[in-house]
Amino acid sequence: MIPQSFARLDPRFRTAYAHRSDGRLYVESFYLREPESREAASAWYALTYRESERFLEDLAERLRGGLYLVGSDHRIYVPGDKLTHLHRRRVFHGSPASEELAALLIEEIHKIASEVVSLALIEWRALGRGGTPVRLLP
């Protein structure tokens, strides 16, 4: 099941990075210098909410679809040749991150995640909810 926050994401926010299903990190070409963004940049198209539900629930659908991306906006992106209608879909123009950039991104993502968890636990305790919650995610 897709989180309810999926439907409320602000469409003006650009997907900064995406994680490909085989483990490779992609970076939105907009954030890279010109020569880097042209090298191996490709377009990936976001699935609709219903398509995403079907995609996540059906293993055969994922296998048939091949490689896919999970964007920093929590959307699932697939290559254009896997979809019949591309009109009015969000597009992620991504380039594979170099090993050096991928390592830096992972380090920064972990720093931010650690800060978020720490702040959430402080808030949790400040609200008088007691000890550490068993599960933070819905």
Q: What is the pLDDT of residues 53-69, one digit of tens each?
A: 888 888 887 777 788 99
Nearest alpha-carbon partner for 65 in 74, 49, 75, 77: 77
Instruction: Give the C-alpha separation, 120 to 126, whole Å.
Output: 10
With beta carbons less than 8 A apart as the criterion, state whether 22 and 67 touch.
yes
The label of the residue with tokens 């209608």 reads 85
State the pLDDT at residue 107: 92
Task: Please say if the pLDDT value at position 122 is more than 80.
Answer: yes
Q: What average pLDDT does range 3-28 have in this prediction?
A: 72
State the pLDDT at residue 74: 87
